[in-house]
Amino acid sequence: MVLHGAIRKKILGAIDALNRGDFDTVTNTFLPDAEHAFAGNSCLGGTRHTSAGRKAWYERLRVVFPGIRFDVDRIYISGSPWNGAVTIEWTTHVTDRAGKPLVNHGVFVFGLASSKAKSLHVYLDTAEEERIFAILRSQGVKEVDLPPIND
């Protein structure tokens, strides 16, 4: 379907921006009141409903995981850009502060409206996330102990 190709291109463009650390482009893909939720109660957990909350979350992501990279494993698309859903299975790659590679797997679930994200829910292996945070904590990354950003 042609519309699904357009959605796929837009989503992959947002993932590319995320991988480049261009979080302004990423946050501009959301509707102003979009829901942005990350599973768990970690420093990246919680739910945000404002542009300011989402920007604060991406800034925290930048500090905790500088150079984070997402590899898209699979994309599932239903509906249209005006009322659709996208699920992305991914593998993420980060490094600890000593340069050791760390990997996790998860899923993005997007709701679409008016060609923008009306919601994003992020689910991942939270046990692996905690293991990674323990490594970063031992290396002095204090941000891993901050509370979730909720608004």
Confidence band of 1 (pLDDT split at 50, 70, 90): low
For residue 150, being part of any structural domain is answered with no
Q: What is the pLDDT of residue 48?
A: 98
pLDDT in tens, 54-83: 999 999 999 999 999 999 999 999 998 889
Top-confidence residue, 2 or 108: 108
For residue 149, being part of any structural domain is answered with no
For residue 58, being part of any structural domain is answered with yes
Domain of residue 77 covers: 2-144
* Amino acid found at 95: T
For residue 151, being part of any structural domain is answered with no
Q: What is the pLDDT of residue 81?
A: 84
Q: What is the pLDDT of residue 6?
A: 86
**CATH number of the domain to which 108 belongs:** 3.10.450.50
Q: Say yes or no to pLDDT of 52 above 70.
A: yes
Which has the closest alpha carbon to 108: 22, 29, 21, 1? 29
The CA-atom distances, in angstroms, between 54 and each of 27, 37, 104, 144, 146 are 7, 9, 22, 17, 16
Q: Based on the structure, what is the number of domains in the chain?
A: 1
| pLDDT, the chain, mean | 95
